[in-house]
Amino acid sequence: MSKYIEEYKKEIQKSKNILVNKKVSIIGIPLSEGQDLEGVHLACDDLRRLGLYDVIKSVGWDYEDVGDVKIEKKKMHSNEKKILLNGNGPEKNDQNGCVEYEENNIYYNDIKNIEVIGKSSENIFKQCDKELKKKNFVLNIGGDHSIAFATILSSVHNYENLKLVWIDAHGDINVPETSPSMNYHGMPLAHALNLFKKKVPYFEWAEKLKHLKPENVALIGIRDVDEYEKIIIKKSNIHYYSMFDIDKHGMYNICKNALQKIDPDNNSPIHVSLDIDSIDVLYAPATGTLAKGGLTYREIHLLLKMLADTKRVVCMDLVEYNPLMDVKDKKLHCDSLPIHADATVTGKLCLEMIARILGNDIA
């Protein structure tokens, strides 16, 4: 065995996860209002059906499924236009008990479905906070990437010095002024970094909470980034690694470098936010914003294994899997996890990745 591999193995043997119990809290978050397609809200139930519990048990972990977070429905407002057209502070309640936002420049008024997202995010934050306090490994199954604002703030709230590894084809770091779609799932990283210039309706609950610091963030896998997003990424002081960087240096070196940058002392808790669209269409066809040239099966597994080897991952989001878009898979000889025989391609990959972040090794 080469010296390289021996050294790596020695290094990881030293560490032990003292941060979490060997128990996974599963939180289903069927929020799909951050983007335009139907189906992403079905992911958590789909993974439960395909063998989520057996997979977790088979890699030596216990689990507690706390069910799905309540997704708030949009209320009927007495003056609907007022709420969407004006972006103004919560001034008064209408007869349905709804907050109205009156005209001024304090609030963003045009982010799509922001009432549902803002109110549901408060529920996500609370549920996540409760599970993190149990010192379990918290697994948040989306839903679209909108869920990450609340899950990350919850991790930041519970773990001092939290580091974030965001794995994605996209930056998700648009601010409303630069967003081409006005879909919130393209903005949660910017929001968590507190880059928004105005307030966001229905997110008042988060205003006093600690936000992320850019030096604690590594963004890995980007390849479909909007014009202005590129500028935001460069100016923001986060550490970022595009597919070109991965091609050039290899995933092993990229992961080592990213961890070294965000956590030079190797002792901080890590939150992983994993968007399924980081992975190539070939291995993960079931997602709404597909981008060619993504991570290979080997690369994503290597990355997750190396993160698991830190023994400091305390929370993971798995987002943007849309079961309605998935395709049939065939059983292979090497399939060893207890995954249901009718699992589809992306669904099966999601379960394999969950096994990997919990420390299950590929031979």
Ligand X SMILES: NC(=[NH2+])NCCC[C@H](N)C(=O)O
Q: Is 226 in the site for ligand X (CB under 6 A)?
A: yes
Annotated ligand binding at 275? The verdict is: yes
Q: Is 320 in the site for ligand X (CB under 6 A)?
A: yes
Asked if residues 355 and 55 have their Cβ atoms less than 8 Å apart, the reply is yes
Closer Cβ to ligand X, 72 or 275, answer by number: 275
Q: Which helix (H) or strand (E) holds 175?
A: none
Shortest-Cβ-distance residue relative to ligand X: 186
Closer Cβ to ligand X, 263 or 317, answer by number: 317
- Integer Cα distance of 286 and 299 in angstroms: 18
Look at strands 313-319 and 23-29 and give their pairing: unpaired
Q: Is 183 in the site for ligand X (CB under 6 A)?
A: yes
Q: Provide, for the chain, the percentages of residues in helix, strand and coil under a 3-state DSSP scheme, each rounded to the nearest 5.
A: 40, 15, 45
- Integer Cα distance of 344 and 322 in angstroms: 11
The pair of structure tokens assigned to 350 is 């999601």
Q: Is 86 in the site for ligand X (CB under 6 A)?
A: no
> For ligand X, what does the binding mask look like between residues 257 and 296, x meaning CB under 6 A?
------------------x-x-----------x-------
Q: Is 317 in the site for ligand X (CB under 6 A)?
A: no
Closer Cβ to ligand X, 24 or 291, answer by number: 291
- Quick one: which of 90, 37, 87 has its CA closest to 204? 90
Stretch that binds ligand X, among 89-97, 100-108, 183-191, 261-269 (CB under 6 A): 183-191
- Integer Cα distance of 121 and 47 in angstroms: 22
Q: Is 191 in the site for ligand X (CB under 6 A)?
A: no
Asked if residues 8 and 361 have their Cβ atoms less than 8 Å apart, the reply is no
Q: Give whole-number Cα distances, 279 to 221, 268, 320, in Å.
A: 8, 26, 11
Binds ligand X by CB under 6 A, chosen from 119, 145, 199, 348? 145
Q: Is 33 in the site for ligand X (CB under 6 A)?
A: no
Q: Is 140 in the site for ligand X (CB under 6 A)?
A: no
CB of 332 to ligand X, least distance (A): 28
Give the binding site for ligand X (CB under 6 A): 145, 170, 172, 174, 179-181, 183, 185-186, 226, 275, 277, 289, 320
